[in-house]
Amino acid sequence: MSDTLRIALVVEGPTDSVVIAAVLENLLEGRSFVATQLQPEKSAAFGEIGTGWGGTYRWCRQAAEQGSGALRNNPLYEFYDVLILYLDAEVAGESYANAGINDPVNDLPCSRACPPASATTNALRQVLLRWIGEIALPLKTVICTPSKCMETWILAGLYPHDAIARSDSLECVPCPKTRLQTKPASGRVIRRGRKDVERYKDRASEMTAAWPNVRARCTEAERFSVEFLAQLQLSCQ
């Protein structure tokens, strides 16, 4: 492993990459890293396969096929130290038809009662493992499944005194994006229903600093942190 960590991201959209990179700044404590977004991206290998969770599904299936049916055999691991696979937990409530996908197993929706958030995220992780052709997570791979979505972490990090951010049901509140739209305009990351990528970037350093609080408030944030650091240690051996 080189001194500069090479981290690959498979996410639903560009704001997810911004937040994950901010989180990594905290977890890596100054260690040099480069985070490369593999999906969504137009590339010679995969072509344009779309954004959102449907794009993640298509990327996973194609990446598994390139590894003769299993992601662990994909040559991308020769170029990256860690691969992060991201899905919002709210995907567990979707159907494949919603993303224009004809899946033979049809294991969505798979949502469970919340709390605990892990009931749904555990089920969704099993779905994701099937997408990549695995029964267990390959070495150098980490799953990230915020409940219900990344904006839950944003709410906890940027607005810790918000009533919902302070509640015990934070990870079970649907559509935290709506809550973020009500925040002061000067720092609002979602405006008129659209995520402002540049505003996410502007506030990334705040998320880095706030990550310990997010970990304390969100079980899936703590889970991702622990699993990322554990996988990193394994990769270094």
Q: What is the pTM of this model?
A: 0.95
**Range 142-162 burial, b when 16+ CB lie within 10 A, else e:** bbbbbbbbbbbbbbbbbbeeb
Contact status, residue 140 vs residue 80, Cβ threshold 8 Å: yes
Query: CB of 82 within 8 A of CB of 72?
Result: no
Residue 14 makes CB contacts below 8 A (sequence gap 6+) with 37, 40, 197
Q: Give the model confidence (pLDDT) of 158-217 as tens digits.
A: 999 999 999 999 999 998 999 999 999 999 999 988 999 999 999 999 999 999 999 999
How far is the C-alpha of 140 from the C-alpha of 173, rounded, in Å?
A: 32
pLDDT tens digits along 145-167:
999 999 999 999 999 999 999 99
Contact 20, 9 (CB under 8 A): yes
Overall number of domains in the chain = 1
pLDDT of residue 47: 47
Q: Which helix (H) or strand (E) holds 8?
A: strand 5-10
Q: Which domain holds residue 97?
A: 5-236
Strand partners of residue 34: 6
